[in-house]
Structure 1
């Protein structure tokens, strides 16, 4: 066999395997999903997902994409998934959810320091949403069923934007909105990592918040069932450790 044939076989093998690899969509949202200066993907949830796919022996490739594009890809049946998503009935119309991979800490709000006196030190959800303050949200995001339902019922003032979490917090520091909902771990990371945010924003617990939201891998219905089954077996194994 000459060198040409060896190169051809290698490229064919690489092409076939790259075609079979599941696209794993993420978007930077520290500390859940992070990207370092060399382009290496990490973070709390991302690291769990890496272990799960490797244990399941499923070929995958990470791809950065905003949440709206992830949903569009899954709706057309791409061989793909999004990681760390909340399970919602409307999403189950076009996606298959794995076993849970992570549970957030309890819900907090991150609020402008100059506006925190409008609320009690540990406000309830209704007190927050009926305060007259402007809620900042990422377009297309779910904040978990409990918060999403509260927003629909109480109809607070909303500033919606197609941005990531850190840009939304920067908008808040710049007076575009007054507060947003955030898990404790995300809020603490943001304030510890950015002096400008720490100087302008603070975290408040939500008094009546239920247990933290569960996060899942959200697969396109185009992903083979046996792949999802293998991933679920590995999730149970990895998350028990």
Structure 2
């Protein structure tokens, strides 16, 4: 009787090929939260915006199937960390904690000409030319901060050193702006583009103003933050396709 011997490496290779084939039709889940002008739905229900269009163009160019999934920010982090699906969160900052469990793409957005800013209520007037730590240390100031959010190392460190009063929320940016108007807190950190849009679109948005402390860091790069199940090959193809 003939006996067949199949090398273990060949078996593993076949199993891997089967796994890849079974997942070939599974689109990558692209997690997002509405943040104009970066990502939002237009009147026709299509996901659009500065980041959304850039990323969708790159996925299409790289021939990577994906689907938009609107997901609250805090849950995005949980989904990526659980690693039970092929998913990426759109437009997040890198930090050491997130790097512990996630993979990051190349930068999908950077603006080296604009600093980060504070969007504040007009009743919370800050003296001109304060630096970041001084602005955060003003008596009675309340920072509205999304739970688990990071603003980059420089701002995160200044928040910790200042011991500013922090009001936490799970709300998205447009509702955070409404909370500032309602005086539930005094200011938030956002980009200039987002602040300008919030002032125009928030009810009673004229009560908000932009304050830029001296020496503010430039807007940090934003990335796709992906679960470990997103293969290195997929990220490589995406990185090669991304363009601004």
Question: Which residue of 1 is the match for residue 78 of structure 2?
Answer: 72
Aligned residues: 219
Question: Which residue of 2 is the match for residue 139 of structure 1?
Answer: 147
Question: Which residue of 2 is the match for residue 38 of structure 1?
Answer: 44
Query: How far is 1:206 from its partner?
Result: 2.3
Query: How far is 1:122 from its partner?
Result: 4.0
- 1:110-141 deviations in whole A, cap 9, x for unaligned? 1111111xx22343101111002111111121
Give the Cα separation in 2 of the matches to 1:51 and 1:123.
Answer: 41
Give the Cα separation in 1 of the matches to 2:190 and 2:31.
Answer: 21
Give the Cα separation in 2 of the matches to 1:212 and 1:227.
Answer: 27
Give the Cα separation in 2 of the matches to 1:41 and 1:207.
Answer: 36
TM-score normalised to structure 2 length: 0.86
Match of 1:210 among 211, 217, 227: 217
Give the Cα separation in 2 of the matches to 1:166 and 1:18.
Answer: 37
Give the Cα separation in 2 of the matches to 1:17 and 1:64.
Answer: 22
Query: How far is 1:37 from its partner?
Result: 3.1
Describe the shift of the 1:188–1:58 C-alpha distance in structure 2 as closer, same or farther (beyond 3 A): same
TM-score normalised to structure 1 length: 0.87
1:97 aligns with 2:104: yes
Q: How does 1:185-224 map to 2 (within 5 A)?
A: 185-198=193-206, 200-224=207-231
1:175 aligns with 2:183: yes
Give the Cα separation in 2 of the matches to 1:208 and 1:43.
Answer: 29
Give the Cα separation in 2 of the matches to 1:76 and 1:210.
Answer: 32
Give the Cα separation in 1 of the matches to 2:179 and 2:55.
Answer: 30
- 1:84-133 deviations in whole A, cap 9, x for unaligned? 100011101111111101014311111111111xx223431011110021
1:22 aligns with 2:28: yes
**Structure with larger Rg:** 2
| Stretches of structure 2 lacking an aligned partner (at least 5 in a row) | 1-21
Give the Cα separation in 2 of the matches to 1:206 and 1:131.
Answer: 12
Task: Indicate if the aligned counterparts of 1:111 and 1:203 stay in contact, CA closer than 8 A.
Answer: yes
Give the Cα separation in 2 of the matches to 1:217 and 1:58.
Answer: 14
Question: Which residue of 2 is the match for residue 63 of structure 1?
Answer: 69
Give the Cα separation in 2 of the matches to 1:51 and 1:231.
Answer: 10
2:95 is paired with a residue of what secondary structure? coil
1:20 is paired with a residue of what secondary structure? coil
